Amino acid sequence: MSDRRNFIKTSALAATALLANSKISAEVNNKAGKEVKKPIVISTWKFGIQANEAAWTVLKNKGRALDAVEAGVMVPEADPAERSVGYGGRPDRDGKVTLDACIMDEFANIGSVAALEFIKHPVSVARAVMEKTPHVMLVGEGALQFALSQGFKKENLLVEESEKEWKEWLRSSNYKPVVNIENHDTIGMIALDENGNLSGACTTSGMAYKMHGRVGDSPIIGAGLYVDNETGAATATGHGEEVIRIAGCHLVVELMRQGKSPTDACTEAVNRVVKLMKVRKKELKDIQVGFIALNKNGDYGSYCVQSGFNYAVCDATGNRLIDADYHLK
Ligand code: SD4
């Protein structure tokens, strides 16, 4: 018995020492140049600049990354001039604006909606799915029904300009989304807050003139967005079918877990897309896929298939647009 007591005592002492050591080594690590750069928020495409500003208002006041990313992506969602996200988004081939969105926090809480019509802020419906239902994903009619039950307003999202373009498109009905234009449809945003916690959100009207009912990568956790509070976060833009095929953002985060930098992780994921396009004998020049990633230290990076993709980075030093490096040179 006393042996056992001694053993417990020694183990407890050893554990305390181990804990103290790990604390010391964490501090040493930080001192050794691994200083955490926080808060920081990054998001896809040029409209990320305005979106980052809204997110920054939350982050600079020591707010939660989750609140920051929701507030951030709501900016392009509400903007009718942004013909790719939320209100004003390009419709599917039946003339319907159907929206996809998801959100993920530091506790791996997730919420998502797909093929949602008539609601301007799908990201907030996704958050309500996360916080108020036993589920993680609602689609179509059911998502709309849930949104209305939560007090979201039903409105027409098809703006005149989008309708005009769609009618024009109907003349040829040729579905070959123009790279970086008809498929630059997504704002993906990831943030690290003052407390060192990560969250992300992703929202889109999807590929212009898609089939009615088509769902892309953006509302799919692991494809268009992934957050792992131990490691990092990633989000994607471009041809959703190719992102889903490689479970893109989960892959990027896992590569960071294995020690890759955000840029190298994004590059490796793009290489995987490239390889599978080859295997499937598809033309790489017809697609765009871009990833952005952020790790726990506040390091960030990106990579994409072809030129034209940029992303916005906002931290205490300012808010700027960066051109992503690309594969097809
Ligand atoms: C989709 N990934 O629906 C979205 C579209 C997009 O930049 O991101 N375009 O496939």
For 260-279, how does the pLDDT look when each residue is reduced to its tens digit (9 = 90+)? 999 999 999 999 999 999 99
Q: Which of 10, 16, 133, 186 is catalytic?
A: 186
| Residue 221 falls inside a structural domain | yes
- Check residue 83 and give its pLDDT: 74
**pTM, rounded to two decimals:** 0.88
Partnered with residue 127 across adjacent β-strands are none
Q: What whole-number distance in Å separates Cα of residue 55 and Cα of residue 190? A: 10
pLDDT 10s digits, 190-215: 999 999 999 999 999 999 999 999 99
231 tagged catalytic: no
Q: What is the percent of the chain with per-residue pLDDT over 90, rounded to a whole number?
A: 79
* 198 domain residue, yes or no: yes
Q: State in Å: Cα 305 to ligand 1 middle.
A: 14
* Any ligand 1 atom below 6 A from CB of 237: yes
Mean pLDDT of all residues belonging to the chain: 89
218: number of Cβ within 10 Å: 32
| CB environment 131-149: b (16+ within 10 A), e (fewer) | eeeeeebbbbeebbebbee
Flag whether 30 is in a domain: no
Ligand 1 atom 10 nearest Cα? 240
23: in domain: no
Ligand 1 contact via 206 beta carbon (within 6 Å):
yes
Domains contained in the chain, number: 1
187: pLDDT strictly greater than 70: yes
Residue 50 sits in which domain range? Answer: 43-328
Are 224 and 102 a contacting pair, CB within 8 Å? yes
Residues 6+ apart with CB under 8 A from 249: 222, 223, 224, 225, 226, 233, 234, 235, 236, 243, 291
Other CB atoms within 10 Å distance of the CB of residue 250: 18
From 175, 186, 306, mutation site for ligand 1 pocket: most ligand atoms within 8 A of C-beta? 186
- Is position 25 within any domain? no
The CATH code of the domain that includes 157 is 3.60.20.30
First to last CA, the chain: 72
Cα(73) to centroid of ligand 1, in Å?
15
